[in-house]
Structure 1
Amino acid sequence: MRKPIIAVDMDDTICHLVKRAIYHNNIEFPTHPLRYEDMMDWNTDHLRHPESTMDLFFGRPGLYEELELFDEYVVEEMEKLHNAYDVIIVTAAVPKTVLEKWNWLQKHMPYIPADNFFTCKRKHLIGYDLLIDDGPHNLLPAVQAGKKVLCIPHPWNLRAREQYSFPLMTSWEGAKERVDEILQAQGEPEL
């Protein structure tokens, strides 16, 4: 029998990307500081300094290898999920960040094999049973396709969370049990 496939995003789901990118932005552009709470969209409006770009903000060399774990529970809970389900990492990446993301994953979660590491921006094209993600542009297509989701709440998904009732996961504590419950629920609509 096939194990359910759990697709897990990396950035701002198992590690903190935006907070670290803000940290570097505020050092480089102290006259135009950014705040995590103000990151309400996935566009470039938050880059207030004229020399700041999305590529600089998210493409600083070495950025993805220095990211902090989401919380103190994520490594243990991801291992529990890995042991019970077919866990795949599905992360958006440009070619220059793929190796950094893989290195980060192997440092913190070496039990995830290379065969379970996918770089893909259009996650709805991947086959999975449940998606754990922070991006509304990934969560909504998953729900519309009849898949289960768990949303990691951040300011940039607040509007989507107000419009749709995504199940939320604010901490990785008890994540395995939460996934078990969601997968066992049959026929209940997500929205």
Structure 2
Amino acid sequence: MRKPIIAVDMDDTICQLVKRAIYHNNKSFPTHLLHYEDMVDWDTTHLRHPDSTHEVFYGRPGLFEELELYDEYVVEEMRKLNDAYDLLIVTAAEPKTVLEKWKWLQMHMPFIKLEQFITCKRKNLLTFDLLIDDGPHNLIPAFEGGRKVICIPHPWNRQQREQYGFPQMSSWKGAKLYIDEMLLPLGLHI
């Protein structure tokens, strides 16, 4: 019998990307300060200084290596998931950020092996039993396709959380038990 496949996003799911990008934006453009609560959409052009393009906001060299863990529980819970399930890290990445993301994973979660690390923007093309993500563009196709999802709540997914009623996880504390309970009715519990 195969282990259930759990696909886990990186940015703003197991690490804090937007908060760090805001920090650097606010240092570089103090006349156009951003706040986490203002990030209500993926298109943030209306919030930034004209010189703070998508490339500038997310393209700072080394940004992805300096990200903080999502919370104090994420490493241990990811270790438990890795032991119990077929765990995949599925993250959108620009070619220049792939190595940074891999280095971050190895620094914080060295139990994740290279064959578990997939860079992909169109996650709905992959096979998984459960997706843990913050991106509505990933959660909606999986949910509508009949797959289990867990939404990591952020201001940019509030509308979709309300519309679709996604199961949510605002902390990684107890994540393994929560996931076990979600997969039990499918006969996928480990």
Q: CA deviation at 1:162?
A: 1.2
Q: CA deviation at 1:8?
A: 0.2
Please show how residues 1-191 of structure 1 align to structure 2 within 5 Å: 1-186=1-186
Change over 3 Å in CA distance of 1:54–1:79 after alignment to 2? same
Conserved in 1, the CA contact under 8 Å of 2:91 and 2:121? yes
Conserved in 2, the CA contact under 8 Å of 1:131 and 1:149? yes
Instruction: Measure the CA separation in 2 of the matches of 1:117 and 1:108.
Output: 14
Partner of 2:31, secondary structure, is coil
The number of residues matched between the two structures is 187
Conserved in 2, the CA contact under 8 Å of 1:44 and 1:53? no
Instruction: Measure the CA separation in 2 of the matches of 1:32 and 1:148.
Output: 39
After the TM superposition, list the runs of 4 or more consecutive aligned residues in structure 1 that deviate by more than 4 angstroms: none
Partner of 1:185, secondary structure, is helix
- Per-residue deviation, residues 104-148 of structure 1 (Å, max 9, x unmatched): 000000000000000000000111000000001100000111110
Partner of 1:173, secondary structure, is coil
Task: Specify every segment of 5 or more residues in structure 2 that has no aligned partner in the other structure, as ranges.
Answer: none
Instruction: Measure the CA separation in 1 of the matches of 2:181 and 2:158.
Output: 24
Match for 1:91: what amino acid?
T
Conserved in 2, the CA contact under 8 Å of 1:18 and 1:36? yes
Task: Specify every segment of 5 or more residues in structure 1 that has no aligned partner in the other structure, as ranges.
Answer: none
- Per-residue deviation, residues 164-185 of structure 1 (Å, max 9, x unmatched): 1000001000000011011112
Q: CA deviation at 1:44?
A: 3.1
Match for 1:159: what amino acid?
Q
Partner of 1:161, secondary structure, is helix
Instruction: Measure the CA separation in 1 of the matches of 2:39 and 2:145.
Output: 28
TM-score (norm 1): 0.96
Q: Root-mean-square deviation (CA), in Å?
A: 1.1
